[in-house]
Structure 1
């Protein structure tokens, strides 16, 4: 199973990249008001935002690689690695979106990483 860790990590990184692109795109759009702008116009505005569009495309790549992983390894082994996407997103968000990274979040990140190491060793 350890031979699939690079593909699993690719899945994690593309998942995190998708989240970050979606955040960037939605931040650029500001608050949405489908009631005022109309539902279809709002959906089109969101989907055709370049960051949102490429974020959604990146999610498709991430899910495709995850499907390949699931065809090769046990889900109880592969799925917990996806929690590493939170680690990547939280650290990136701290440095580039100036989001809070409190001591509790740092401790949680440490536990996620420790748990993932235990799972990878199993």
Structure 2
């Protein structure tokens, strides 16, 4: 179980950092919901050279590789709930790095999710 927790923490961190870079990259491209088809195509083409989007995609690939490794030895019913810990990391990074307002109610919800993860993790220890 310790191996699973360690690898999952690396995976969660890689995924969360990837999400932050992807968010920054897309926000720098503009709100595509207000764009016409031609502007969206231009934005997609520019995205292919946006270093934040490239780095975010690379971090997501690292996450995916680590996730596949965990699935090779751990029960899915244990591994999948551990992914929920990413909510903590993403909320912290979004507040700290992106300047998002993470309200106390959101933190309370994240706390409830973490309680559930602890119960699932505890149930897998024999």
The two structures have a TM-score, normalised by structure 1, of 0.89
Q: Distance in 2 between matches of 1:96 and 1:56?
A: 18
Per-residue CA deviation, residues 6-35 of structure 1 (Å, 9 max, x unaligned), is: 001111111111101101111222223352
Give how far 1:103 is off. Answer: 2.2
Q: Which residue of 1 aligns with 2:81?
A: 80
Residues paired across the two proteins, number: 121
| Ranges in structure 1 where 5+ consecutive residues have no aligned partner | none
Q: Which residue of 1 aligns with 2:103?
A: 102
Q: Distance in 1 between matches of 2:40 and 2:65?
A: 33
Kindly indicate whether the alpha-carbon contact (under 8 Å) linking 2:29 and 2:43 is maintained by their aligned counterparts in 1.
no
RMSD of the alignment, in Å? 1.5
Runs of 4+ in 1 over 3 A off after TM superposition: none
Give how far 1:43 is off. Answer: 1.6
Give how far 1:62 is off. Answer: 0.6
| Ranges in structure 2 where 5+ consecutive residues have no aligned partner | none
Stretch moving more, 95-104 or 5-14 = 95-104
Kindly indicate whether the alpha-carbon contact (under 8 Å) linking 1:34 and 1:42 is maintained by their aligned counterparts in 2.
no
Kindly indicate whether the alpha-carbon contact (under 8 Å) linking 1:2 and 1:120 is maintained by their aligned counterparts in 2.
no
